[in-house]
Structure 1
Amino acid sequence: MNTRELLIKATDFLAGMGITPQSQEQQEFLDVIFDALLFIESTGQTYVFEDYRKHLVSDDPPRVVASFNTREEADSWLSELPDPPSSAYILVADQYHHLIYIRDKNHRRLFPHPVLEYYLGTRMREGLPPPKASFATRGEAEAWLQGQTSPPRQAVIQISGESYLAVYHPNINHRSIYPFSIAARVEAPEG
């Protein structure tokens, strides 16, 4: 079933549940759910939503919405954007930053965020696969990644004997190489 059909069936499912809200607050919760489903369809976000759902079940690094070479470029983009996302990750010099926008106050802010370090830590805890390729220098690795016509979403590689994660961010057509040496220590979940 495609995403458009799934959204229609989800809306029908909710409507057919015959839920009678016990309070105004519960009615508002139901309205928000219906509105969110209708928003996805009516604003042409069906495929974006489909990609988002695929990303949720993937083992890919955290999703980013933009990439910039410098902080100045990112700040300029954010200040000129008429309607920024309320919250999202962006890359600045291939480092994850969290974007926060509060519309009522026109507050726009970027700050470094350790989400990638935790992601890499989890990958290390789970065990890394054998490297897909090995390189003597980072330049060789970057040339290899940029030269891929169909880049892997992610691949463990080695540069001078150290493990790295080569990543393709398809929604922004950006390629990055992250050293596992920056990984945060992540404990196994209890239970």
Structure 2
Amino acid sequence: MSPARVPHLLLRAAADALRFIWANGLSYEFMDYRESLEFESPPPVVAAFKTREDADSWLASNPKPPAMAYVLISGEYHVVAYRRENDWRTFLPHPTLEFYLEEMTKDGLPPVVATFNTREEADAWFAGQSEPSAQTVIQIGGEHYLAVYYRNINHRAIFPLSIAKRLNRSGGPATRARLPGGLKRRGPPRSVTRRPPSRWWGRTRESRFP
């Protein structure tokens, strides 16, 4: 392929991607995804489940599993693995949140927006917000947590920042997460490769960077 054709092919691919989004009625989902990148919040998820049994039931009954999408199961990130050639489908743990929190805390803990004595107090405060910030750093009983609002599924989750220590115990982040069946997913995702600006912890989605 001639190097001169590369820009043209990239533009064509981008145009095809936009047409695909419009044709499948995914305009708002695309907008929410771009906002998640702008606000440097953790990677978006398409669903959240309290138990693995609930997640397995959802996946088994899904006629078109969202291949390579993230879901939360019991508060932990998993990727949907699916091969339509043989209808193989499962969930696989993925350390994308660990990557994100490691990047966030590599230069020290970010400032705290709110402090609580118990998790129950923090949950009540978070649940009482009609339009929470994309993410907010809080403190519960002296430990730092990240309160994340997934607007696309109207889900709230609170993660301890200490999750990032899992990467240190496992010898550091891998350059690639491998999935069974020949599937591959690179890590960490692009949304965790830039350090989250400390000036906007707790800002709402209506806010914009200067």
TM-score (norm. length: structure 1): 0.77
Matched to 1:135, the amino acid is F
**Could you tell which deviates more after superposition, 108-117 or 34-43?**
34-43
Secondary structure in 2 aligned to 1:105?
coil
Please point out which of 60, 71, 81 is paired with 1:100.
81
**1:68-113 CA distances to partner (integer Å, 9 max, x unpaired)?**
0000000000000011112111001111111111111101110111
Could you tell me whether the CA contact under 8 Å between 2:29 and 2:152 is conserved in 1?
A: no
Distance 1:96 1:128 in 2: 22
Distance 2:11 2:78 in 1: 33
Question: Aligned runs of 1:79-158 on 2, under 5 Å?
Answer: 79-158=60-139
Deviation at 1:37, TM superposition (A): 2.5
Could you tell me whether the CA contact under 8 Å between 1:128 and 1:156 is conserved in 2?
A: no
Segments ≥4 residues shifted beyond 6 Å:
27-31
Matched to 1:91, the amino acid is L
Number of aligned pairs? 167
Rg comparison, structure with higher value: 1
| Unmatched segments (≥5 aa) in structure 1 | 1-19
Deviation at 1:56, TM superposition (A): 2.3
Instruction: Report the structure, 1 or 2, having the larger helix content.
Output: 1
Say if 2:124 is the partner of 1:165: no
* Larger RCO of the pair (alpha carbons < 8 Å, separation 6+): 2
Deviation at 1:54, TM superposition (A): 2.2
Deviation at 1:21, TM superposition (A): 6.2
Distance 1:130 1:48 in 2: 30
Could you tell me whether the CA contact under 8 Å between 1:136 and 1:160 is conserved in 2?
A: yes
| Unmatched segments (≥5 aa) in structure 2 | 174-192, 194-210
Could you tell me whether the CA contact under 8 Å between 2:39 and 2:134 is conserved in 1?
A: no
